[in-house]
Structure 1
């Protein structure tokens, strides 16, 4: 799983990844504190974590957590 984080001047502002379900959709999560909704990224030796969960509102409607580089699917 690859999570790309865009930074400018030491500030992280957006994270992006391809949907892990395989649909090919590009997911983008805002990281700026003043934006809603917003996510936080934590870097670990085994890979990144993203908080809160990601829920694609259209298309495949995937809902998952990214924890230490691994996708954990949410149950309906």
Structure 2
């Protein structure tokens, strides 16, 4: 089980493969997002000067709780 407020990055040979996080809505589901350039869909993970993560594009769960949010500078911004 992933920590409640942490992002976990899977890496192999200095290449980031995926990022995992618990859904910020509180449903407890794990979200895994692929970071590899050749995979679709894929996300980009960046860290700011304070090591706060941002993901692009937004995360939209099409099943379950159907959460839709941005992660920017370590903060969740909900989409309406």
Q: What is the TM-score with the length of structure 2 in the denominator?
A: 0.90
Secondary structure class of the residue paired with 1:24: coil
**2:15 pairs with one of 11, 24, 41:** 11
Secondary structure class of the residue paired with 2:38: coil
1:13-34 Cα shifts (integer Å, max 9, x gaps): 0000000000000000000000
1:73 alignment counterpart: 78
1:63 alignment counterpart: 68
Count of residue pairs brought into register by the alignment: 75
5+ long unaligned stretches in structure 1 = none
Report which structure shows greater RCO (CA 8 Å, sep ≥6): 1
CA RMSD of aligned residues (A): 0.9
* In structure 2, distance between residues paired with 1:41 and 1:25: 20
**Runs ≥4 residues deviating over 4 A:** none
